[in-house]
Amino acid sequence: MASAKTKLQLQLQERVPLPRTAWKLADLAVLFLLLALLAHRVSSLMVAVGGGGGAAWCCVAALICEAWFTVVWLLNMNAKWNPVRFDTHPERLAERMSDGELPAVDMFVTTADPKLEPPLVTVNTVLSLLALDYPAGKLSCYVSDDGCSAATCYALREAAEFAKLWVPFCMKHGVKVRAPFVYFSERGGAAADDDDAEFLRAWTSMKNEYEELVRRIENAEESLVRRGDGEFAEFVGADRRNHPTIIKVLMWDNSSNDDSKNAAGDGIIPSLIYVSREKRPTQHHYFKAGAMNVLTRVSGVVTNAPIMLNVDCDMFANNPQVALHAMCLLLGFDDELHSGFVQAPQKFYGGLKDDPFGNQMQVIYEKVGFGVAGLQGIFYGGTGCFHRRKVIYGVPPDSTTTIGIKDSPSYKELHKKFGSSKELIESARSIISGDMFRTPTEVVADLTSLIEAAKQVSACSYETGTSWGQEVGWVYGSMTEDVLTGQRIHAAGWRTALLNPDPPAFLGGAPTGGPGSLTQYKRWATGLLEILLSRHNPFLLAAFKRLDLRQCVAYLVIDVWAIRAPFELCYALLGPYCVIANHSFLPKASEPGFVILLALFLGYNVYNLGEYKDCRLSVRAWWNNHRMQRIVSSSAWLLAFLTVVLKTLGLSETVFEVTRKEQQSTSDGGADAVADPGRFTFDSSPVFIPPTALTMLSIVAVVFGAWRLVAGEGEGVPSPSGPGVGEFVCCGWLVLCFWPFVRGLVSKGSYGIPWNVRLKAALLVAAFVHLSTWK
């Protein structure tokens, strides 16, 4: 009895099922209404077919779309049905780990463009990671710069010097948020009393040091840094798409340096290593997936930690104990099977009130994310994720060791999978069959040998003939390499855990404005559809590998984003078409089917609003996300669908578009501050043409229908086959959903839709109206 009690006290994590009875009943109620609408549609279809003409075509199209909406609802029901949360107890780690040992962690930060992702953004993320509450000798930070920017390297070198002051300051004063731009802007997070004179002097001195760091970074022009000699000589003449590997060890095993000792007594500050992998025009670099694989190999021959953390350059560590919370999940299960990786939800700092661009995704994570966590495990989100290195290396769980690499792989097997580097082969062997708590690679007198080995494995031709990008590392073949890699891990039989501590583990910046938001959604939807049409299709993984069926169906919730676009666009066009062509596709107010339609419309929106209120969000946030769903579907998802179709036909190639990151600052505003950051902005991108055309068409339909009603008042009763109240509500609802585009049609500057977009949209509307009225 005593031993059971002790075991309970030492439990590092608890899997807590979340009650959802009322929501399940609501799920079933909406499903019943969808099925009732389908039944009514089928029963009335023969009447419409008998009438012939446009009415029959409209009813068939509506039936197909409504059947698809029912399928999407079932997919979401499956994902939300069994939510769980994981409670972690890092204070118990010392009791549970008898020798106090924790596994080493290699931390990866990725950046790709110094203009879209300013170096200062990356620097704050790196500083927050270097100052984590974790044995510093067990942490190493690697920064991948796919922009091959001397300015980024310079910024990180300056940050390394600042870290020697910043990390001890954080440890001594118990700083809660260790990204300096947040700490100094809020003047919060210190455990010390603000009236403490010693603390105030230290705080003021550190703030001055940070402001000087910011000044140096912001004033470091790329051309001036490149012209420098010595440390930056390798950047001279280097082109971001054509250059050799550049690796800079900016901070490495400073335990012998008294100035680097921190208040925790660890004596060292984590290592910091800059990596810009080799790129050549003749070699495909595979975007972020390629960069992550290079970081994995470089870290494998340098430090070879058994745990890897990857974050985007703008996702700083908001909780200094995040690594300890992650260890509670990685070490807290009886079987490693249940924690192949540990994923933290993406959350955002400084978010605009009421989420005007619908990209803070709080409801998706709380409803779908917690639900998927109750299946085979949370999806890999591409940032804020702790991986077991051996899982990334393609090793299956202990229960499936007959698949893939055996416990004692031969040199030939490792050579085929991992490439020709002897250093990497030996490090992989130790990870696959070694001790998770071993000491990381010890310091060698000749650091040059490590760098040479790292340069060998980061060559752009190194992966040729190996399993990298397929069975090993991040998987190639999609712009959403995170989801694709997560699917491969789940298909191998691993389960995954959700990391959701309080305060949140990581915080990032959500894109603002129209172009940034839609670019992000387009990239995601393109990559997800690429997965669905590839050999990595979840159905194939469920049929021939170890992906659970319900997990397979859960992946479809996001994989079908782009496929939803043509169905939602078709349904949106039915209302304007019927008003213009004098047809109907919805039941009339006098028909019994109208009650089903009205109940479904109200029930779905009340259900959706209830989810937002349950997540402590406002009615305005619900409406903003609802209208953005319509906008994204008709723009980003639609273009993603067309992009993949053209790629499949061999007519084009997908292009990876980096989302602009907002420049971080300690100031509250300035001359360059946006007048209304929550207002939709536009550019000449093709992504704005379809929603602009749909906005114009909805306005035309409303005007056309109103004119017909007024002009037809003296001509008797309207045609029974003509549009009813449902079609007019559809057109009005579209105008409300696309209100940012209505404003864009009458605005100027970045808030106005460019004239070339308006012209192309107007031509589409004219063609649609002509076809609708053509007899």
User: HEC profile for 328-368?
Assistant: HHHCCCCCHHHHCEEECCCCECCCCCCCCCCCCCHHHHHHH
Question: Would residue 50 count as lying in a domain?
Answer: yes
Same domain, 640 and 712: yes
Residue 444 has a pLDDT of: 46
Same domain, 103 and 65: no
Task: Evaluate if residue 59 carries a pLDDT over 90.
Answer: no
Look at 71-80, 160-169, 434-443, 687-696 and tell me which has the smallest mean pLDDT: 434-443
Give catalytic residues, as residue numbers.
146, 482
Question: Distance between CA 597 and CA 599 in Å, rounded?
Answer: 6
As a whole number of angstroms, the distance between CA 15 and CA 10 comes to 15
Same domain, 75 and 95: no
- pLDDT, residue 387, reads 98
Strands 341-343 and 316-317: what pairing? unpaired
- Which residues, 6 or more positions from 67, have their beta carbon under 8 angstroms from its beta carbon? 38
Q: Are residues 118 and 238 in the same domain?
A: yes
Cα dihedral: 401, 405, 407, 412 (round 10): 160
Residue 616 lies in a domain: yes
Query: Residue 427 to residues 297, 515, 732: CA-CA distances in angstroms?
Result: 9, 44, 63
Encode pLDDT of 515-562 as tens digits.
888 988 999 999 999 999 999 999 999 999 999 999 999 999 999 999
Provide the pLDDT for residue 721: 66
pLDDT (mean) for 412-428? 93
> Would you say residue 13 lies in a domain?
no
Residues 706, 710, 715, CA angle at the centre, nearest 5°?
130
pLDDT above 90 for 513: no
Q: In what order do the strands lie in the sheet with 385-388?
A: 246-251, 271-276, 139-145, 105-111, 307-312, 385-388, 341-343, 497-498
**312 within 8 A of 382, measured Cβ to Cβ:** yes
Average pLDDT over residues 53-67: 84
Mean pLDDT lowest among 492-501, 513-522, 619-628, 664-673: 664-673
In DSSP terms, 140 is beta-bridged to: 106, 271
- Above 50 in pLDDT, residue 492? yes
Question: Cis omega before residue 718 (within 30°)?
Answer: no
50, pLDDT greater than 80: no
**pLDDT band, residue 19 (cuts 50/70/90):** very high
What pLDDT digit, counting tens, does each position of 627-658 carry? 999 999 999 999 999 999 988 887 766 665 65
Give the three-class secondary structure for 101.
coil
Q: What is the mean pLDDT of the chain?
A: 87
Judge whether residue 218 has pLDDT over 80. yes
Alpha-carbon distance of 371 to 363, in angstroms, equals: 12
Q: Is residue 61 part of a domain?
A: yes
My answer on whether 306 and 339 are in the same domain is yes
Q: At what angle do helices 21-51 and 53-80 cross, to 10 degrees?
A: 160
List residues forming the annotated binding site for UDP-alpha-D-glucose: 117, 146
Residue 190 pLDDT grade (very low, low, confident, very high; cuts 50, 70, 90):
very low
Residue reference for tokens 């959500």: 510
Minimal CA–CA distance to 148: which of 279, 295, 287?
A: 279
The verdict on 569 and 718 lying in the same domain is yes
Q: Are residues 152 and 110 in contact, defined by beta-carbon separation less than 8 angstroms?
A: no
Q: Give mean pLDDT, residues 712-726.
A: 65
244 DSSP assignment: -
Residue 510 is assigned to a structural domain of this protein: no
Of residues 584 and 66, more confidence is placed in: 66
Predicted confidence band at 352 (pLDDT cuts at 50, 70, 90)? confident
Strand partners, 506: 317
Say whether both 205 and 269 belong to one domain: yes
> Which residues participate in the annotated binding site for Mn(2+)?
288, 312
Q: Mark whether 455 and 558 lie in a shared domain.
A: no
Q: Are 330 and 437 in contact (CB under 8 A)?
A: no
Bridge partners, residue 342, by sequence: 386, 497
How many percent of the chain have pLDDT more than 90? 68
Mean pLDDT of 176-199: 75
DSSP letter at 752 equals: S
Residue 248 domain flag: yes
Model pLDDT, residue 90: 94
Cβ neighbour number for residue 64 with a 10 Å cutoff: 14
Work out the pLDDT band at 673, boundaries 50, 70, 90: very low
Half-sphere exposure of 542 (CA within 13 A, CB side): 14
pLDDT score of 651: 72
363 lies in a domain? no
Q: Are residues 642 and 613 in the same domain?
A: yes
Residue 328 and residue 204 share a domain: yes
Identify which of 111, 266, 179, 770 has the alpha carbon closest to the alpha carbon of residue 506: 179
Domain count, the chain: 2
Q: How long, in residues, is the chain?
A: 775
- What tokens were used for 208? 């001055």
Residue 194 lies in a domain: yes
Whether 511 has a pLDDT exceeding 50, the answer reads yes
Q: Are residues 104 and 35 in the same domain?
A: no
Q: Comparing C-alpha atoms, which of 342, 565, 303 is closest to residue 438?
A: 303
What is the reported pLDDT for 31?
Answer: 98
**Does residue 315 sit in the same domain as residue 448?**
yes
One-character DSSP codes across 61-92: HHHHHHHHHHHHHHHHHHHHSS-EEEEE-GGG
List pLDDT tens digits, range 727-775.
999 999 999 999 999 999 999 888 999 999 999 999 999 999 999 887 6
- Reported as a pLDDT band with limits 50, 70 and 90, residue 723 is confident
Q: Which domain holds residue 700?
A: 26-81+535-657+678-773
